[in-house]
Structure 1
Amino acid sequence: MEVLDTIFEVIDMRSFSNLWFWIALAVMWSSTSHWVLGIPHDMIQRARREGGQAMEDVEDLARINTGRILSIVDQGALILTALGCFWLTVLAGLGFWYDVEFAQALFLLSFPMSLVVWLSIRASRRINAGENRDAALCRRLTIHRRWTQGIGMVAIFVTAMYGSWQNLSVSILH
């Protein structure tokens, strides 16, 4: 039992002081901003530069991925929205009303991603409505990426400030 006590003293198991939480946050936002609607950003840049086969590949991926997103949304938008709002409300209530740090951490990961999902649906509808070729497609994907990066920067900043405040207030109390 002393070994476990020592491990838990050395490795703090709270969310905001755990290194794995911060690694997960960085990986989540890095991959989210790199894979725009399931299309890697380097592929979009190459298509913009070279055109030809690279542009056809981006157009094909955009058609496939936006079709998948829109079919999921069109078939179950009400249920998905209700479940998403329910879980965000549960996490917010547990986290900020009942002061459960794990729920706070999950909320700070989930809420900004719900905004990115909404933006992805919106971008998919615009691409499906006609912005699905050449420069217009690349422009739409770049705009979507910039919005995603903006949300990510704000989310990382807010999470870092809140996590630091949590860590300081816990260390002052102990």
Structure 2
Amino acid sequence: MDWYTTVIELIDMRSFSNLWYWIALAVVWSSASHWVLGVPFDLVLRARRHGGQAELDLEDLVRINTNRLVYIGTVSGLWLLGFSCFFLTGLGLLGFFYGVEFAQAVFLLAFPMSIVALMSISTSRLISTQGLRGEALRQRMTKHRFFTQLIGVLSIFVTAMWGMYQNMTAGALGG
């Protein structure tokens, strides 16, 4: 077995039968639910338990990240939306119309994450305009994390069902 064959087997384009894809899926959703608006959720919990400096750190980090997200959304939001729609449409067509499994796998990762990104911009705008602080800020962050986790669970379920279907039909067709 030569080097080229080893690399091709390691980076298998049949994504749903590849362990690396499922590891990446788990890491993406674990990171998305831990980093709420770019702030580690353990800081939200520490601020709730201890207050004081942890509360100030949370408010500062949220202020910095929400201002950043609102600025990006305001300055280049339409361009990002257009590019994202183009990218997701291309992946969807390649994956589900033309049957490219790699495009299906990337679409099933990217589409739910784009929903989380839109939700993050919306939450950032809400936090910024309402000037949330203290308990109200922690509740909004917790609510945002809950909906991110809900989208993640649904995404993993749909991806697992589609992946099992793909693996069964690929196995039935002989590879």
TM bucket (normalised to shorter chain) is over 0.9
Amino acid at match of 1:90: G
Q: Does structure 2 retain, via aligned residues, the 8 Å contact 1:62–1:132?
A: no
Whole-angstrom CA distance in 1 between matches of 2:6 and 2:113: 33
Distance 1:129 1:10, change over 3 A: closer
Q: Which runs of 5+ in 1 are unaligned?
A: none
Amino acid at match of 1:171: G
Q: Does structure 2 retain, via aligned residues, the 8 Å contact 1:59–1:133?
A: yes
1:68-102 CA-to-partner distances (Å, cap 9, x unmatched) read 00101100111111000000000000000000001
Taking only the aligned residue pairs, the percentage that are identical comes to 54
Task: Note the C-alpha offset of 1:130.
Answer: 1.9
Other-structure match for 2:65: 65
How is 1:17-96 mapped onto 2 (pairs within 5 angstroms)? 17-96=17-96
* TM-score when normalising by structure 2: 0.94
Amino acid at match of 1:161: M
Amino acid at match of 2:59: E
Task: Note the C-alpha offset of 1:33.
Answer: 0.1
Whole-angstrom CA distance in 1 between matches of 2:5 and 2:91: 31
Task: Note the C-alpha offset of 1:132.
Answer: 2.2
Amino acid at match of 2:153: M
Whole-angstrom CA distance in 1 between matches of 2:157 and 2:151: 10
1:89-137 CA-to-partner distances (Å, cap 9, x unmatched) read 0000000000000100010000000100011011101110125210000
Other-structure match for 2:166: 166
